[in-house]
Amino acid sequence: MGAPEPDLSALVGLHTVKGGHYAQYRGTAARLGRVITALEGISKALVQTASGPDVLVAAVVDAVREHLGARWVLFALADGALEQTGPRHLIAERDGTISAFEGVAGAPVPTDLPDAVLNRLNDILRGEAAVLAAPIVEDHHLHVPVELDGEVVGGLSAWTPDGHPVDPTDLIVLRILAGQATVALVNAELFSQANQRAAELAERNDELERTQRELSAAQRRTLLSTERSRIARELHDSVGQSVLSAGLQMELARGEVSPAGLEHLDKAVGLSRDAMKQLRGAIYTLGDSGASSLSIRGTLDQLCALHLPSDTRSAVVVRGRPRELPGDVQHALLRIAGESLFNASAHAGATQVTVTLAYDAERIALYVDDDGSGDPERLRTLMAAALEGDFAAGHHRGLANMSSRAAELGGRVRIRRSRLGGVRIAATVPVPADRPTEPNRKEPS
């Protein structure tokens, strides 16, 4: 036997292609055309997702209106469902007018709604699941529930004119459009929640930055106060006592001085008393730390004023793009700067000192240059000995402290010859760009 003849009914959905069944064929072709047109409308609606839920839901109801030639199309969410999103409802008329009672910008309030449409809106808003949980297919009316995770959260309904009966394929079209609208509204709700969380995080971040700025300023004030107190104590306990002792010794020598030298002795005693008054004034001033909030540059200026004699020329230079430093980095650099300034004044007899703070993307560098008599090679040897615990180098512990402070932060301290003729103390500390820091007001260079 030969091969069986092709089953034409499997190909075209018809049992025969006789002329008497041509009307059936035409009906099938018409339905296919309407489905293709509906799919085109669905695709147009889907591309509106990025424009937000208002635009997409409006595109959905408009696609339903065009597909069915509907007189009325209603989309609505039940009260309490998807509370963070909208629109809560939209109504499309046959001429394409989109309206809503509330919550949709640019949509007018509908008037003269048919009772069937108004009643359906109320039923959906009240969540009448017993009535609307299943699809409704009538000659001139379609309804599909809007569902999320198996729960009815709203509905999509349409009413067609008398000359446009509902086809069974129309139910599939409405189901697809209702599902896409639900997805868009869920995404909108998630987006709203994400924005709310972002706003809360931004607020917390602002609070953290304010706290960091306050702590940073407090650290600078504490450091300056500590330095002032230390210098005031040294002036009182050493210099002050020496001046008082000198004055006392001059008073004791009064009876042994010749009349010719008595006038000079009186002047010396008067000068020692004046010096003591000035010293007491300086101690009082140093003890009054004040409550001003200084930038790191301002703090460096204050350290220069504290550690250097009034006749020593000093300058603070800032290079690069300033940014607020982490508290531990800032504290270490200011301590290193204070020790370097003290050494330049007390040991090197410098007459000129320049402090440079250099910022770049990956590190912060502090340079203290002087024109004093210090020997870089000798200071390097003393610093190495102090770091190794050499007792003989103990009085140079300040050098070892500077090195240790930088090393604890992954940095280092180098001692070199300065272009000013004396010593350069160079401290570098890594501060990667992604390390959390607080914003800082721009410091003048």
- 14/150 same-domain check: yes
Is residue 24 domain-shared with residue 139, that is, in the same domain?
yes
The answer on 187 and 58 residing in a single domain is yes
154 and 303 assigned to the same domain? no
Give residue 389's pLDDT: 73
pLDDT tens, position by position, 308-362: 888 889 999 999 988 878 878 888 898 899 889 888 888 888 999 999 999 998 8
Is residue 288 situated within a structural domain? no
Residues 6+ apart with CB under 8 A from 305: 314
In a domain, 431, yes or no: yes
Overall number of domains in the chain: 2
Residue 297: pLDDT band with limits 50, 70, 90: confident
Pair 350, 372: CB distance under 8 Å: yes
Among 95-104, 122-131, 267-276, 417-426, the least confident range: 267-276
Residues 54, 180 within the same domain: yes
- Residues 189 and 299 placed together within one structural domain of the fold: no
In a domain, 257, yes or no: no
CATH code of the domain containing 410: 3.30.565.10
pLDDT, tens digit (0-9, with 9 covering 90-100), for 94-150: 998 999 988 777 788 888 899 999 999 999 999 887 778 899 999 999 999 998 888
Same structural domain, 182 and 73: yes
Q: What is the pLDDT, as a whole number, of residue 438?
A: 41
- Ranges 55-59, 231-235, 402-406, most confident: 402-406
Q: What is the pLDDT of residues 173-222, one digit of tens each?
A: 888 888 877 877 777 677 777 888 888 888 888 888 777 777 777 776 77
Q: Do 58 and 171 belong together in one domain? A: yes
- pTM here? 0.44
114 or 249: whose pLDDT is higher? 114
Domain boundary among 134, 159, 193: 193
Give a yes or no: residue 438 inside a domain.
yes
The answer as to whether 248 is a domain residue is no
> What's the confidence (pLDDT) of residue 25?
47
pLDDT tens digits for 362-407? Answer: 899 999 999 999 999 999 998 888 888 765 555 567 888 899 989 9
Judge whether residue 445 has pLDDT over 50.
no
Given a cut of 60, whether residue 22 has pLDDT beyond it is no
CATH at residue 98: 3.30.450.40
Q: Does pLDDT of 56 surpass 80?
A: no
Do 187 and 299 lie in one domain? The reply is no
Both 180 and 298 in a single domain? no
| pLDDT beyond 60 at 233 | yes
The residue among 113 and 280 whose pLDDT is bigger is: 113
Q: Is residue 430 part of a domain?
A: yes
Q: What is the mean pLDDT of the chain?
A: 77
Looking at 193, 222, 248, the residue that finishes a domain is: 193
Provide the pLDDT for residue 55.
79
- Which comes out higher in pLDDT, residue 406 or 38? 406
Please report whether residue 256 resides in a domain: no
**Is position 282 within any domain?**
no
Residue at a domain's end among 170, 193, 216: 193
Which residues form the domain of 438? 294-445
